[in-house]
């Protein structure tokens, strides 16, 4: 069946509506982020540039694969979480920021995790884009917290294993294409992600005894490494 011109125009407008809303909300969030970063760090360059990159990548994902006619509050919540991650970049780049500021923002970003998924299910707006946006925001939060822990001298370089294991996996996938295959949903993966971020937040907490830093780091790294190993072995068997 051929579509009439009005139907084609309607479909194009419907497809562009989530992106237009996303960019409009992103502009407002970016302005708030710039003010907060300038007030806290004396500069807005790092956080704003990181957030701009996140917005561009996410907008591309919306255009390519988002199936719903509206953006939904679920994706706005994830966008706010991404802005918090971008803000924390400033704490890595500018030494001397209060650890309580870093801790509070990390807790807020983590507390909002899961709310976006619940909102998506409640509104019937579940999508691969939303799940990926949420997952990459989690990964970014873990990476930035680990960088801050290293930069502040709270931990040694071993903390980067906890924050950057996903990015190492993604890098390895370019060398070993079998790792690029989709993985089935697994509660294990989600649970260990929670353990990962919880461990990082425990390490940020100013009242955490120094004697616990290494054990918490090692246990979380081992659990995360085991989870990735399970996925790698599954992908390897599938490709064989």
Residue 15 has pLDDT above 90, yes or no: no
> Quick one: pLDDT at residue 12?
40
CB 112 within 8 A of CB 105: no
Is the pLDDT reported for residue 11 higher than 70? no
Sign (positive or negative) of CA dihedral 66, 188, 206, 150: negative
pLDDT of res. 114: 82
Tens of pLDDT along 73-119?
Answer: 999 999 999 999 999 999 999 988 899 999 999 999 999 988 988 99
Q: What's the whole-number mean pLDDT along residues 132-156? A: 94
For position 13, what pLDDT does the model report?
37
Cβ contacts of 138 within 8 Å, gap of 6 or more:
113, 193, 197
Cβ-based neighbours of 63, under 8 Å, separated by 6 or more:
15, 19
Can you tell me the distance from the alpha carbon of 36 to that of 110, in angstroms, rounded to the nearest whole number?
19
Q: Is the pLDDT of residue 3 over 60?
A: no
Record the pTM. Answer: 0.89
Residue 6 has pLDDT above 60, yes or no: no
Average pLDDT of the residues in 167-195 = 92
In this predicted structure, the answer to whether residue 153 has a pLDDT above a threshold of 80 is yes
Question: Which of residues 7 and 55 earns the better pLDDT score?
Answer: 55
- Asked whether the predicted pLDDT for residue 4 surpasses 90, the reply is no
Q: In which band, very low, low, confident or very high, does the pLDDT at 29 lie, cut at 50, 70 and 90?
A: very high
C-alpha to C-alpha distance for 35 and 54, rounded to whole angstroms? 18
Q: How far apart are CA 140 and CA 45, in angstroms?
A: 18
pLDDT at 225 over 90: yes
Mean pLDDT of the chain: 90
Q: What is the pLDDT of residue 231?
A: 95
Average pLDDT over residues 205-234: 95
pLDDT of 9 higher than 50:
no
Cα angle: 199, vertex 133, 194; to 5 degrees: 20
Q: What is the mean pLDDT of residues 153-161?
A: 93
pLDDT given for residue 1 in this prediction: 39
- According to DSSP, residue 71 is labeled -
Across the range 228-239, mean pLDDT stands at 93
């Amino acid at each position: 069946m051929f579509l009439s011109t009005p139907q084609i125009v309607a479909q194009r407008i419907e497809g562009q509506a989530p992106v237009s809303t996303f960019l409009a909300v992103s502009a407002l969030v970016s302005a708030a982020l710039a003010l907060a970063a300038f007030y806290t760090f004396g500069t807005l360059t790092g956080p704003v540039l990181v957030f701009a990159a996140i917005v561009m990548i996410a907008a591309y994902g919306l255009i390519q694969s988002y199936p719903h006619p509206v953006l939904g509050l679920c994706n706005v919540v994830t966008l706010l979480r991404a802005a918090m991650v971008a803000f924390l970049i400033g704490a890595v780049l500018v030494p001397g920021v209060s650890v309580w500021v870093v801790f509070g923002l990390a807790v807020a970003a983590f507390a909002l995790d899961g709310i976006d998924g619940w909102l998506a299910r409640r509104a019937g707006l579940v999508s691969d884009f939303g799940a990926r946006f949420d997952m990459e925001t989690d990964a970014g939060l873990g990476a930035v917290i680990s960088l801050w822990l290293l930069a502040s001298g709270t931990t040694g370089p071993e903390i980067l294993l906890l924050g950057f294991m996903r990015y190492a996996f993604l890098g390895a996938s370019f060398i070993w294409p079998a790792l690029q295959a989709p993985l089935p949903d697994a509660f294990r993966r989600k649970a260990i992600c929670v353990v990962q971020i919880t461990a990082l937040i425990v390490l940020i907490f100013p009242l955490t005894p120094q004697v616990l830093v290494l054990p918490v780091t090692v246990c979380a790294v081992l659990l995360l490494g085991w989870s990735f190993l399970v996925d790698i072995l599954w992908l390897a068997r599938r490709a064989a």
